[in-house]
Structure 1
Amino acid sequence: MAAPLILVSVSPGEQRTALLAGDLIDGDRLEAAFIERPARPEGVGDLHIARLSARAPAMGGAFLAMAGGETGFLPDSEGAKGRTEGEWLRVAVTRAAQGGKGPRLAARPGPEAPQGPPRLLARGPDAPLRLAAQHPEATLRTDHPATAARLRAALGAARVSLSTAPAFDEAVEEAFETLSGMAVPLPGGGRLTLHPTPALLAIDIDAGAAAGGRDAAAHRTLNAAALAEALRQIRLRHLAGAILIDMAGMPIARRRDLLPGLQPHLAADPHLRLVGMTGLGLIELQRRRVHTPLHEVLGDPPSPLTRGLLALRRGVREAAARPGARLALTAHPAVLAALRDWPGALEEFTRAAGPLSLRADPLCPPGQEHVHAE
C-alpha cells in the first residue's frame, strides 16, 4: 500500500485539497476533497470568546453571541448546562453553520475566566493541516510557494514539497469536476444522481443499459458497487443529515441482502450510520454534519463566484503559458460583480499573473467565462 499523498492546489481566492490513497495495482484514489475560500473560512476549529445570550431548554442548550454578530448554539452536553445568561465562555466551533443556522459550539477550558467582548481568539487548522494530522504518514505537495512555507513551518520541511507544475493533474481535476455536479457516472454504465433538499438528501441509482435485463446477479452486483460509490460520494462531498438511497431493479425483499456489505464503507466514515430500510425499500442513513457540503460552497448550479474563481484559476495557467501577454476576463456582469466583492481574489490574480482587464458580456452563458489575451 502506497503512502497517502495530500495535494494542495492554490489559486486566486481558493484553496483545494485532495487526499489520494491507493496501491500499485489500482492506482491512487481520491479519498478526501476540500474546497476552501480563505477570505471567509467555514470556521471549524476556530476558538472564540462568546456571551451566553439566551437559554434554550427545549433544545437542550443555549445560544451564544459571537464576533461579527453571528449566533452559535452550545448544547448542554458541550458545556451549556448550568450556565447563566450574560456569562462569557471560551468556545470552539465543532460544526460549520448550515442552512441559515449558526455554528455548533463546544466549551473549552482556558488559563483564566474569559471576558468580553465577543472575539475570535484563533483560527482552526485548514484542510491540509487537518488531513496531515489524521494521516501522519502522508506527504504533502503544493504548487504555491507561500503555502509550502506555511506548511513546512507547521509540519517540517521533509513532509512538504513545492511543485513547479499544477498540484492537481488531469485525473484529480476531473474528479473535482465530478464533485461540482450532482450526477456521478458509474463504471460499466449507469449513474448516481444526488438530490439535496432542506429536509434530506435523496440518491437515485440508475442502472443504465442494465435496467431492462433479467440477470438478478448482475443487478445485485451493480447495486452493490453503486452503493459503495454512493457512500464514498457522501463522504467526499461532506453531505449530512437524513439520507435515502433508492436502488435500481431489485425487489424490495432482496434489497436487505446488500446491507451487510455496507459495513466496511460505514467503518471508513465515523460520522455515517446505517438506520435501516424503509417500507418502500429505501436505504436510510444519517450523517453528522461537520464541514460545509461542497454543493453549498460551490452552488447548485455553480454560483457566479464559483464560475469566476474557476476562470481566474484557468487564467493563471494561461498567463504562465503566455508570459508578457496582457490578459482580459470576459464574463457575465454577475460573475464580475462577485469577483469584485470577494476579498483578495482579483488582487491575488494580479500578483500571480499580472494586470487583468474585466469585460462584461451580458450574453455570456454560464460556464463560458474565460481569460484571454487582449
Structure 2
Amino acid sequence: MAGLEFYLDEMPGETRAVVTQNGDIHTLYIERDSDRPENRLGTQLVGRVVRVEPGLKAAFIDTGAGEPFGFMSLPKAVHLTEGQKVRVQVTAEIRESKGPALKYMGEGQGDVRILSAGPCVAEILRDMAGGQAIITGLQAVEMSFQAEEEVRSTSVIRSEVGLDLAIQRTRALIAVDIDYAPLPGRDSRKGREVVNRFGLNEAARQLRLKHWGGIIAIDLAGVAFQVDSILNLAKAVFAGWNGVAVGPLSRLGLLQISVPWTYTPLDERLAHKDTAMLDSLRRLHHAILSDRATPVYELVCGPEFGKKLAPFVYALGPRARLVANGPSGQFIIRQG
C-alpha cells in the first residue's frame, strides 16, 4: 500500500507502534511491560481445563495467567474433562472481564506453559513494514500522542466531502452514524453516495485503529439506496479482514457487519489505572528529546507512584530525574 509510514515509540514500561497512510493514522498498538504473554494474540501454550460447559459446547482453560480464564469453543469431536491438559492458541486477547479466546490445537502434556509467544509490538511493526524504514525518536513519540488523541475521539469530520461521522462502543455493539452535511452546488443524491463511500472507509479505519469488533451497526446517510451497490462497497472495504461478515441492509439504511475481536480494545487499555503514570513518563521522554540544551528534566509525582516510576525514569538516562514528593495523583514535568 502506498504512502505508508511506520513509527516505533519505545520507552521503559510501554512500547507503541503507529502506522499511517497518506497522513491518516490507521493503527496504534500498545504493549506494556505488565502485559502477560499468555494473553498475547498468537501465543501457543499448554493449558489446563478448569471447567467444561456442555450447554455452550465450550471449556474454560487455565493458561497460567490467572483469572479470567481463557474461553475455548470445542470442536464437535473433542470431549474434555476437568484437569486435562490441552494445546491451545490465543485468537483474541482479553477484553472487559473476559479472558482470552482460545483455539483447540490438540492434547497437551506436562506443566501449564508457553510453547511459543505471539509477536510483540515491535515484531508486528517490523513485519508490516517489510524492508521499509521505521521512524523512532522524537517523531515517533509525537505520533504516539497524536494517535492516542484520535483513539479517544468519537467523531470524524471531513468537510471537503460533507462527512460527519460518529462512532460509539456500547455493551451490545458498535454504533456508527454517517451523516451528510450538504455542500453548495452539489447534487444531494450524489453527495450522499460520496459520503457513504467515504464513511464506510472511515468506519473501517476507526475500527482497526481502536481495535473494536463484534456487531457493527452502520446508519448510512439517506434512505434511498441501491442495495447491491452498498453491499458490494462494504464487502470491498472489508475485503482484507479475516472473518468479517457483511449482513443485510435495511430499507431505512442500517447496515450490519460482524468483525472478529482480536486485540484488547484501546479504550480499555487507556482506561487502565497505570495510563496516567505512563503518560507522564512519555511526556518526560518527549521533553528530553525535544530540548537538548536543558541538562535535567524532572518528573514530579506523589510518593504513591515513586516506587513504580523510579526504575523507568532511571532507564531514560542521566537527564531524567524523579521527585516523588509532589501532590498525590498529579504528575508535573519541569526543568531541573
Amino acid corresponding to residue 193 of structure 2 in structure 1: R
Deviation at 1:49, TM superposition (A): 2.4
Choose 36-45 or 223-232, whichever is displaced more.
36-45
Aligned match of 2:196: 223
The answer to whether the Cα contact below 8 Å between 1:190 and 1:208 also exists between their aligned partners in 2 is yes
Amino acid corresponding to residue 296 of structure 2 in structure 1: A
Q: Distance in 2 between matches of 1:80 and 1:357?
A: 60
The 1:139–1:38 alpha-carbon spacing in structure 2 relative to 1, beyond 3 Å, is farther
The 1:109–1:243 alpha-carbon spacing in structure 2 relative to 1, beyond 3 Å, is same
Deviation at 1:340, TM superposition (A): 5.7
Amino acid corresponding to residue 328 of structure 1 in structure 2: L
Tell me whether 1:13 sits opposite 2:6 in the alignment. no
> % of aligned pairs identical?
24
Amino acid corresponding to residue 74 of structure 1 in structure 2: M
Q: Distance in 2 between matches of 1:40 and 1:93?
A: 14
Deviation at 1:115, TM superposition (A): 1.9
Aligned match of 1:284: 256
Q: TM-score, normalised by structure 2?
A: 0.83
Amino acid corresponding to residue 134 of structure 2 in structure 1: R
Amino acid corresponding to residue 357 of structure 1 in structure 2: V
Aligned match of 1:295: 267
The 1:182–1:11 alpha-carbon spacing in structure 2 relative to 1, beyond 3 Å, is farther
For residues 1-374 of structure 1, the aligned pairs below 5 Å read 2=2, 5-21=5-21, 27=22, 29-41=24-36, 42-70=39-67, 71-77=69-75, 81-108=78-105, 114-116=109-111, 118-133=112-127, 135=128, 137-141=130-134, 143=136, 165-168=137-140, 173-188=145-160, 189-208=162-181, 210=183, 215-248=188-221, 250-253=222-225, 257-278=229-250, 280-299=252-271, 305-320=274-289, 321=291, 322-329=293-300, 345-353=309-317, 354-358=320-324, 360-361=326-327, 369-374=331-336
Choose 194-203 or 41-50, whichever is displaced more.
41-50
Amino acid corresponding to residue 298 of structure 2 in structure 1: L
Amino acid corresponding to residue 11 of structure 1 in structure 2: M
The 1:131–1:363 alpha-carbon spacing in structure 2 relative to 1, beyond 3 Å, is closer
Q: TM-score, normalised by structure 1?
A: 0.75
The answer to whether the Cα contact below 8 Å between 1:7 and 1:140 also exists between their aligned partners in 2 is no
Q: Distance in 2 between matches of 1:59 and 1:318?
A: 52
Deviation at 1:252, TM superposition (A): 4.7
The 1:169–1:47 alpha-carbon spacing in structure 2 relative to 1, beyond 3 Å, is closer
Choose 303-312 or 53-62, whichever is displaced more.
303-312
What count of residue pairs does the alignment treat as equivalent? Answer: 327
Amino acid corresponding to residue 130 of structure 2 in structure 1: E
Partner of 2:166, secondary structure, is strand
Q: Distance in 2 between matches of 1:64 and 1:221?
A: 47
The 1:192–1:83 alpha-carbon spacing in structure 2 relative to 1, beyond 3 Å, is same
The answer to whether the Cα contact below 8 Å between 1:43 and 1:96 also exists between their aligned partners in 2 is yes
Deviation at 1:168, TM superposition (A): 2.0
Cα RMSD (Å): 3.2
Unmatched segments (≥5 aa) in structure 1? 22-26, 144-164
Q: Distance in 2 between matches of 1:109 and 1:323?
A: 58
